[in-house]
Amino acid sequence: MASHTLIQGFPSTYVKLGILRSSSNGVRSWGSLVCRKKKRCKPLLMKINAVINDPSHSTIDFDDPDWKIHYQEKFEECIRLPHLSDNLNVTPRHTTFSLKKRVGQVINGIDSSEEKSDYVNDDDRALLKVIKFSSPTSAGAECIDPYCNWVELWVHRAGPRKQIYFEPENVKAAIVTCGGLCPGLNDVIRQIVFTLEVYGVKEIVGIPFGYRGFVDEELTEIKLSRDIVQNINLSGGSLLGVSRGGANINDIVDRIQAKNISMLFVLGGNGTHAGTQAIHDECQKRRMKISIICVPKTIDNDILLMDKTFGFDTAVEEAQRAINSAYIEAHSAYNGIGLVKLMGRSSGFIAMHASLSSGQTDICLIPEVPFDLEGQYGVLNYLEKLMQKKGSAVICVAEGAGQDLLERSNATDASGNVVLADIGVYLQQNIKKHFKDLGIPADVKYIDPTYMIRAVRANASDAILCTVLGQNAVHGAFAGFSGITVGICNSHYVYLPISEVIKSHRLVDPNSRMWHRCLTSTGQPDFI
């Protein structure tokens, strides 16, 4: 094998295998892919760095013939679900959850009702990843080792168990919705209540206005039952109200103890999940018998390891309507430009999917893909060409895109998130200025449908997802799990430890097939 210069920051394993090489002119290559401009190589270099920087990879010796076994064992350890029995002496009992309404027929001495089980076995698993990539250079490749070997990674299947760890008549269950509004909140609340009652729980309460409801003396519990929540899914918003931030973790746990809550269901996004993990940890320290379950709520679709979160499909449906309105406005005006800003602080899933679904977007800008505004390859120059060719254009931008172009602020919101500068207004002003300087009239219509999208009722797809997530949250609580969240992986419903899904945000992969499809649909170039 020819000798190669070791590239700073990359392990020698990659160089030895000829996967990563450096030449005298600074060209970096992985396999047959050659990167001559750092920005053009960003998606691939991000993948290499992801492999290198992932702590789960740092101790792997790829020369060990059993490295895959060791990796799987480490993954299984990380994905293990926290359980009440970890630090409490708890005894299970047979479940009170049953869908059998009558005794089965006895055929040949066998009760037919016993032939089919309503329950999920504790050892059931679902595959986290299902695509076997043949090369690290395959579109969207997610490789653990330089050869992109297939490694089976299994996660816990969600659903009702035969054994439960609570006496339903002694359970006091509480539901709280945190963060901002999201389509489907009422659907999840409704299904949690329904399923709790099927188990036989009599005392179900809602905590008003997020974590604030635990400590604000002026806010009282809301009694919940099937009759109360029966029709709340017919409207958007949350029956319980929402708020960001909250109170000190110890104060929240003190109130949970004082209220004798034994099951807590928390609906929220990444920040809420992190807060819930802290509450779970404190409850464990106090050796409390409580099951704390999260249901991932974010229209941004940015929860790690999950296919999608509830509210996302509805958000995309509403967002593409905004894009279509922007197209009508732009197409009907002389030199019209429609500009739509959508939610997506760190992840551009809504902007990408809405652009694909509408089919009217000429430029889609997301946080994961850097872009230049000025210059030969910038957005403004391309916009000029679009106006000359079509006479109108539509731009869709995620709120977190292009933040490197804006003045940064150290301000944070109640959830601790950095307050982003408004990329929509920035683009609108710069587009107007650019065409004014050229002496070309441009009619820019700016649409920000954020709060309209968040407040609508869940569509059919999200309503089904909310229904199953709500039911599985209750099943997980009665099974004795705590500090977990429910989600969907490859169309299967699963349980995941909260500690694993809050390690980072889920992002759009710039090398993925879906982003490539978006580029094909818009026809846009690289803006760098």
User: How far is it, in rounded angstroms, from Cα 394 to Cα 331?
Assistant: 9
300 labelled as ligand-binding?
yes
The reply to whether 254 belongs to the active site is no
118 labelled as ligand-binding?
no
244 labelled as ligand-binding?
yes
Distances (CA, A) of 402 to 93, 385, 398, 411: 55, 21, 9, 18
DSSP 170: G
Distances (CA, A) of 242 to 178, 251, 302, 483: 5, 19, 20, 21
18 labelled as ligand-binding?
no
Query: Exposed, middle or buried, 319 (CB in 10 Å: 0-12/13-18/19+)?
Result: buried
399 labelled as ligand-binding?
yes
93 labelled as ligand-binding?
no
Given the residues 145, 187, 300, 302, the one annotated as active site: 300
269 labelled as ligand-binding?
yes
513 labelled as ligand-binding?
no
268 labelled as ligand-binding?
no
Length of the chain: 528
3-state secondary structure at position 154: strand
360-375 as b/e: b if 16+ CB within 10 A: bbbbbbbbbbbbbbee
451 labelled as ligand-binding?
yes
User: At residue 161, what is the residue type?
Assistant: R
180 labelled as ligand-binding?
yes
- How many helices (H) and strands (E) the chain has is answered by 17, 20
3-state secondary structure at position 412: strand
272 labelled as ligand-binding?
yes
298 labelled as ligand-binding?
yes
Strand bridging mode 336-342 / 392-398 = parallel
Binding-site positions for substrate read: 298-300, 343-345, 399, 451-454
Binding-site positions read: 180, 244-245, 269-272, 298-300, 343-345, 399, 451-454
Binding-site positions for ATP read: 180, 244-245, 269-272
Binding-site positions for Mg(2+) read: 270
Q: Which residues are catalytic?
A: 300
